Homo-oligomer: A and B are copies of this chain.
Protein backbone atom coordinates (compact mmCIF):
# COMPACT_ATOMS: atom_id res chain seq x y z
CA UNK A 1 0.00 0.00 0.00
CA UNK A 2 1.48 3.34 -1.02
CA UNK A 3 1.66 6.44 1.11
CA UNK A 4 -0.97 8.19 -0.92
CA UNK A 5 -3.38 5.30 -0.45
CA UNK A 6 -2.88 5.44 3.31
CA UNK A 7 -3.50 9.16 3.23
CA UNK A 8 -6.61 8.67 1.17
CA UNK A 9 -8.06 6.23 3.64
CA UNK A 10 -7.29 8.50 6.57
CA UNK A 11 -8.82 11.50 4.89
CA UNK A 12 -11.89 9.61 3.79
CA UNK A 13 -12.27 8.42 7.38
CA UNK A 14 -12.30 11.97 8.59
CA UNK A 15 -14.58 12.93 5.78
CA UNK A 16 -16.98 10.19 6.69
CA UNK A 17 -17.04 11.37 10.29
CA UNK A 18 -17.81 14.89 9.13
CA UNK A 19 -20.62 13.59 6.95
CA UNK A 20 -22.13 11.69 9.84
CA UNK A 21 -21.93 14.63 12.18
CA UNK A 22 -23.63 16.80 9.59
CA UNK A 23 -26.34 14.19 9.09
CA UNK A 24 -26.93 13.87 12.83
CA UNK A 25 -27.14 17.62 13.25
CA UNK A 26 -29.45 17.89 10.26
CA UNK A 27 -31.75 15.26 11.74
CA UNK A 28 -32.12 17.34 14.87
CA UNK A 29 -32.68 20.62 13.11
CA UNK A 30 -35.09 19.16 10.56
CA UNK A 31 -37.07 17.58 13.37
CA UNK A 32 -37.18 20.84 15.25
CA UNK A 33 -38.16 23.29 12.54
CA UNK A 34 -38.80 21.28 9.40
CA UNK A 35 -36.85 20.88 6.20
CA UNK A 36 -37.61 24.22 4.65
CA UNK A 37 -37.10 26.29 7.76
CA UNK A 38 -33.80 24.58 8.52
CA UNK A 39 -31.01 26.69 7.11
CA UNK A 40 -27.72 25.18 6.07
CA UNK A 41 -26.16 27.65 8.46
CA UNK A 42 -28.16 26.28 11.40
CA UNK A 43 -27.23 22.70 10.54
CA UNK A 44 -23.54 23.55 10.35
CA UNK A 45 -23.65 25.45 13.60
CA UNK A 46 -25.25 22.48 15.34
CA UNK A 47 -22.62 20.16 13.92
CA UNK A 48 -19.80 22.49 14.85
CA UNK A 49 -18.75 23.18 11.29
CA UNK A 50 -19.00 26.09 8.93
CA UNK A 51 -20.77 26.13 5.63
CA UNK A 52 -17.59 25.30 3.76
CA UNK A 53 -17.61 21.81 5.22
CA UNK A 54 -21.22 21.38 4.26
CA UNK A 55 -20.83 22.18 0.59
CA UNK A 56 -17.69 20.11 0.46
CA UNK A 57 -19.78 17.10 1.46
CA UNK A 58 -23.20 17.70 -0.05
CA UNK A 59 -24.20 19.43 -3.25
CA UNK A 60 -27.42 20.83 -1.82
CA UNK A 61 -29.58 20.64 1.26
CA UNK A 62 -31.96 18.38 -0.64
CA UNK A 63 -29.23 15.89 -1.32
CA UNK A 64 -28.48 15.71 2.39
CA UNK A 65 -32.16 15.31 3.19
CA UNK A 66 -32.46 12.45 0.73
CA UNK A 67 -29.55 10.64 2.28
CA UNK A 68 -30.90 11.27 5.75
CA UNK A 69 -34.34 10.00 4.80
CA UNK A 70 -32.77 6.82 3.52
CA UNK A 71 -30.78 6.38 6.68
CA UNK A 72 -33.81 6.85 8.91
CA UNK A 73 -35.89 4.37 6.97
CA UNK A 74 -33.11 1.81 6.87
CA UNK A 75 -32.66 2.10 10.61
CA UNK A 76 -36.34 1.51 11.16
CA UNK A 77 -36.27 -1.60 9.01
CA UNK A 78 -33.07 -2.78 10.65
CA UNK A 79 -34.54 -2.62 14.14
CA UNK A 80 -37.50 -4.74 13.15
CA UNK A 81 -35.58 -7.29 11.10
CA UNK A 82 -33.22 -7.65 14.03
CA UNK A 83 -36.24 -8.67 16.01
CA UNK A 84 -37.16 -11.26 13.40
CA UNK A 85 -33.66 -12.68 13.69
CA UNK A 86 -33.90 -12.79 17.49
CA UNK A 87 -37.20 -14.57 17.20
CA UNK A 88 -35.78 -17.23 14.91
CA UNK A 89 -32.69 -17.61 17.09
CA UNK A 90 -34.47 -18.06 20.40
CA UNK A 91 -37.24 -20.19 19.03
CA UNK A 92 -40.68 -18.77 19.45
CA UNK A 93 -42.64 -19.83 22.47
CA UNK A 94 -45.89 -18.03 22.73
CA UNK A 95 -49.10 -18.89 24.45
CA UNK A 96 -52.75 -18.26 23.79
CA UNK A 97 -52.97 -14.57 24.62
CA UNK A 98 -50.10 -13.77 22.34
CA UNK A 99 -51.79 -10.63 21.15
CA UNK A 100 -49.71 -8.57 23.49
CA UNK A 101 -46.59 -10.52 22.71
CA UNK A 102 -47.14 -9.70 19.09
CA UNK A 103 -47.38 -6.08 19.99
CA UNK A 104 -44.26 -6.15 22.08
CA UNK A 105 -42.37 -7.82 19.29
CA UNK A 106 -43.48 -5.43 16.65
CA UNK A 107 -42.49 -2.33 18.46
CA UNK A 108 -40.48 -3.75 21.26
CA UNK A 109 -37.86 -1.25 22.22
CA UNK A 110 -38.63 0.54 19.00
CA UNK A 111 -40.23 3.18 21.20
CA UNK A 112 -39.41 5.66 18.52
CA UNK A 113 -38.33 8.89 20.10
CA UNK A 114 -39.74 12.27 19.39
CA UNK A 115 -36.99 13.07 16.95
CA UNK A 116 -37.70 9.99 14.91
CA UNK A 117 -41.40 10.70 14.80
CA UNK A 118 -40.90 14.28 13.68
CA UNK A 119 -38.44 13.20 11.05
CA UNK A 120 -40.73 10.53 9.63
CA UNK A 121 -43.56 13.00 9.46
CA UNK A 122 -41.34 15.46 7.67
CA UNK A 123 -40.25 12.82 5.18
CA UNK A 124 -43.81 11.68 4.59
CA UNK A 125 -44.94 15.21 4.03
CA UNK A 126 -42.29 15.89 1.43
CA UNK A 127 -42.74 12.52 -0.21
CA UNK A 128 -46.28 13.58 -1.10
CA UNK A 129 -44.80 16.16 -3.44
CA UNK A 130 -41.60 14.47 -4.57
CA UNK A 131 -42.09 11.32 -6.68
CA UNK A 132 -38.52 10.13 -6.19
CA UNK A 133 -38.72 10.48 -2.44
CA UNK A 134 -42.17 8.89 -2.51
CA UNK A 135 -40.93 5.82 -4.35
CA UNK A 136 -38.06 5.32 -1.95
CA UNK A 137 -40.32 5.87 1.03
CA UNK A 138 -42.96 3.43 -0.17
CA UNK A 139 -40.37 0.80 -0.99
CA UNK A 140 -38.88 0.99 2.47
CA UNK A 141 -42.33 0.93 4.00
CA UNK A 142 -43.07 -2.27 2.11
CA UNK A 143 -39.89 -3.81 3.35
CA UNK A 144 -40.85 -2.93 6.89
CA UNK A 145 -44.25 -4.48 6.38
CA UNK A 146 -42.74 -7.68 5.07
CA UNK A 147 -40.51 -7.90 8.12
CA UNK A 148 -43.42 -7.44 10.47
CA UNK A 149 -45.48 -9.91 8.45
CA UNK A 150 -42.72 -12.44 8.96
CA UNK A 151 -42.86 -11.95 12.71
CA UNK A 152 -46.61 -12.27 12.75
CA UNK A 153 -46.56 -15.42 10.64
CA UNK A 154 -43.97 -16.99 12.94
CA UNK A 155 -45.97 -16.19 16.02
CA UNK A 156 -49.11 -17.51 14.42
CA UNK A 157 -47.46 -20.84 13.59
CA UNK A 158 -45.85 -21.23 16.98
CA UNK A 159 -48.83 -20.16 19.04
CA UNK A 160 -51.24 -22.22 17.03
CA UNK A 161 -53.60 -19.31 16.63
CA UNK A 162 -55.09 -18.37 13.33
CA UNK A 163 -55.44 -14.87 11.95
CA UNK A 164 -58.49 -13.51 10.23
CA UNK A 165 -56.39 -11.94 7.49
CA UNK A 166 -53.09 -12.79 5.80
CA UNK A 167 -49.95 -11.79 7.73
CA UNK A 168 -49.16 -9.05 5.21
CA UNK A 169 -52.47 -7.34 5.78
CA UNK A 170 -52.20 -7.77 9.52
CA UNK A 171 -48.74 -6.22 9.43
CA UNK A 172 -50.00 -3.29 7.38
CA UNK A 173 -52.78 -2.63 9.83
CA UNK A 174 -50.51 -2.88 12.84
CA UNK A 175 -48.01 -0.47 11.33
CA UNK A 176 -50.70 1.97 10.33
CA UNK A 177 -52.14 1.97 13.83
CA UNK A 178 -48.68 2.18 15.32
CA UNK A 179 -47.80 5.26 13.32
CA UNK A 180 -51.11 6.93 13.92
CA UNK A 181 -50.98 6.30 17.65
CA UNK A 182 -47.44 7.56 18.08
CA UNK A 183 -48.17 10.69 16.11
CA UNK A 184 -51.36 11.44 18.01
CA UNK A 185 -49.76 10.83 21.37
CA UNK A 186 -46.77 12.97 20.49
CA UNK A 187 -49.04 15.70 19.23
CA UNK A 188 -50.90 15.63 22.53
CA UNK A 189 -47.64 16.55 24.19
CA UNK A 190 -47.18 13.29 26.06
CA UNK A 191 -43.74 12.16 27.07
CA UNK A 192 -41.88 9.18 25.74
CA UNK A 193 -43.27 6.66 28.20
CA UNK A 194 -46.82 7.82 27.82
CA UNK A 195 -46.55 7.71 24.06
CA UNK A 196 -45.37 4.14 24.29
CA UNK A 197 -48.10 3.17 26.72
CA UNK A 198 -50.87 4.56 24.58
CA UNK A 199 -49.45 3.06 21.44
CA UNK A 200 -49.18 -0.33 23.08
CA UNK A 201 -52.78 -0.19 24.20
CA UNK A 202 -53.97 0.68 20.72
CA UNK A 203 -51.93 -2.08 19.16
CA UNK A 204 -53.19 -4.62 21.66
CA UNK A 205 -56.73 -3.75 20.65
CA UNK A 206 -56.01 -4.25 16.97
CA UNK A 207 -54.18 -7.48 17.66
CA UNK A 208 -57.31 -8.82 19.37
CA UNK A 209 -59.31 -7.96 16.27
CA UNK A 210 -56.85 -9.78 14.08
CA UNK A 211 -56.97 -13.02 16.02
CA UNK A 212 -59.58 -15.59 15.04
CA UNK A 213 -61.91 -16.08 17.97
CA UNK A 214 -62.30 -19.70 18.92
Contacts and interface: CB of A to CB of B under 8 A. Distances in A.
A83 interface: no
A121 B128 contact: yes
A169 interface: yes
**Tally of this chain's copies:** 2
A187 interface: yes
A165 B206 CA distance: 10
A186 B128 contact: yes
A164 interface: yes
Contacts of A208: 164
A164 B208 CA distance: 9
B33 A129 contact: yes
Interface of A: 32-37, 117-118, 121-122, 124-129, 131, 134, 137-138, 141, 164-165, 169, 173, 176-177, 179-180, 183-184, 186-189, 205-206, 208-210, 213
